[in-house]
Amino acid sequence: MTAGNAAARPTGLSLGRLAERAAERVGDESLLLFEDQRWTAAQLAQRAARLSGGLRAAGLRPGDRVVVCMANCPEVGITYTAAWRAGAAVTPVLFLLSEPELRHVLTDSGARLVVTTPEFLPKVLGAARGVETLAAVVLAGSGADAAAPGTGSGADRVPPVLDYAELERADAAPLIDPPASDMAALLYTGGTTGRAKGVVLSHDALVAASWAGHVALENDYPPIDGRKVALSPLPLSHVYGLVVSVVGVHATEPSTSLLMRWFDPAGWLRLVAEHGVHTSTLVPSMIRMILTQPVAEYDTSSLVRVVSGSTALPREIALEFARRLPHVQLAEGYGCTEAAAIVSTAPRGGSPVGSVGRPAAGVRIRIELPDGTEARPGQAGEICICGPSLMSGYWNAPAETAIALRDGWLHTGDIGRFDEDGFLYVVDRIKDVIIRNGFNIYPRDIEEVMLSHPEVAGCAVVGRPDPLHGEEVVAFVQLAPNATATPESLVAFAKERISAVKYPREVRVVDAIPLTSVLKTDRRALRAMLGG
């Protein structure tokens, strides 16, 4: 199925060039607000141009990778733009990565520079020890120490530490404008099936994805009169947050963007009320946390839409959001790192509950059956994607690239279906499907039922190896405060509502459902708990 809105998109342009043009259009009017500080787009563009000159003086060359390990702050976006202006690529990493995980990214990417802040410097220096490609670590943020020389050699070498503010005092460097097919970002997947893989996204792929997001915001969702105020708590190190932040290169009118260093539900509601926020992008776990707050005590009347992405939004949470914030359109979308985050979006009239909308602008989606044929409406199969936002491939992994990008289509590993009206539904991950007595059981189906129990605040389902049935269904449940439900009563609740083949034979009550660093259910951690 193809997107109904096929608006023209910029082609053949680097992100550095597009950012420069955006600053020329709205630079003195568009604002970024962060922790009571404000910058115009023009000021941010000037900082990026100067930093680009400083990074080049520090040894950055076209085609090099710059690892960015920071919590959300203006310097994240400034660093991205500075690297792109230098013809380099960015490798964003979440600051929660362990030292061994960070070291894998540094060595596998062949990074030239790492940009970080004081609280993460010890971990970064530990991970950077002996990495031959690293020229320097750049230290940003208040409290940053003065530059420090490198020490040691070979496997004991620690790269020098350069001062971000000092690099930013360089003369503004002219733009290097690489081909749009060059790598703009090297993003590492979560590594849930092994070591994290690098996903290569070109300038053109990120431009196409951000353009699709821009088209959705402008045309598909309820209109907003006057200056738009958007709130983003998403980590800019994740592909979803990265692409949402890049959407601004397509801006034609001034807007105000609020950036949270990290998400907290009360802080999010407070900012909505204080700044008259119109729109925000979230992930389902954030929405669930917001609903634990006294939402009615905050003025959310300005809020027009909330866009949910990254992973499936449970039906019960969507219905509870609609009940408590009926004036807000909750628009669920779908994406993945290999397709630069934006694959489907909700139309202006909304989507059925449980749907992730229709194909985004410029995107084609095909549901493929195991025999390679295309599924009919209502049939479940693998979600396959075609369009300009697809990755160039996995970094230094041609065999895996060939498997994922067969016949020009990205095979996502997600199971989905279309309904008769062309709305897409994501059923589950292929690798998460539980096979019991030869029957396919989708964890999400079980989770939806368990979440309908009034005392269940969270649920995640995995399969446990079983010598008799192949796999057995196990539900991990987080109870609401003051709940009295027991594992036995929850099994009985499920048995009344789910077929005999599928209902969980075991329920384990946990303090909290474990989440990955990007706030998705950590099924690998749950499977490890089964062995305990």
Which domains, from first to last, does the chain contain?
15-202 (3.40.50.12780), 203-429 (3.40.50.12780), 434-530 (3.30.300.30)
pLDDT per position as a tens digit, 463-504: 988 888 888 999 999 999 999 999 999 999 999 998 888 899
**Percentage of the chain exceeding pLDDT 70:** 95
Query: Pairing state of beta strands 89-92 and 329-332?
Result: unpaired
CA distance 311 to 356: 10
CA distance 216 to 230: 14
**What pLDDT is stored for residue 192 in this prediction?**
40
- Token pair in block for residue 358: 């229709």
Closest CA to 115 of 181, 65, 187: 65
CA distance 65 to 79: 12
Cα within 13 Å of Cα(507), Cβ side: 24
Question: Do 424 and 359 form a contact (C-beta atoms < 8 A)?
Answer: yes
**What pLDDT is stored for residue 3 in this prediction?**
57
Q: Of 108-112, 128-132, 144-148, which range is least confident? A: 144-148
Per DSSP, 217 falls in state I
Res. 190 pLDDT band, cuts 50 70 90: low
**What pLDDT is stored for residue 402 in this prediction?**
95
Query: Pairing state of beta strands 31-34 and 255-259?
Result: parallel
State the virtual CA torsion across 183, 189, 191, 197 in degrees, nearest 10. Answer: -10
Classify the phi-psi angles of 416: left when phi > 0, otherwise alpha if psi is within -120 to 50, otherwise beta.
beta
Identify the residue with better confidence: 472 or 349: 472
Distance from chain centroid for Cα 474: 28
Classify the phi-psi angles of 345: left when phi > 0, otherwise alpha if psi is within -120 to 50, otherwise beta.
beta
pLDDT per position as a tens digit, 406-456: 999 999 999 999 999 999 999 888 888 898 877 778 888 899 899 999 999
- Token pair in block for residue 488: 């036995």
Burial (CB count within 10 angstroms: exposed 0-12, middle 13-18, buried 19+), residue 40: middle
Q: Give the residue-averaged pLDDT of 76-102.
A: 93
Q: Give the residue-averaged pLDDT of 162-180.
A: 94
CA distance 37 to 34: 5
- Provide the mean pLDDT of the chain: 90
Q: Above 90 in pLDDT, residue 157?
A: no
pLDDT per position as a tens digit, 360-400: 999 999 999 999 999 999 999 999 999 999 999 999 999 99
**Percentage of the chain exceeding pLDDT 90:** 67
Q: Above 70 in pLDDT, residue 143?
A: no
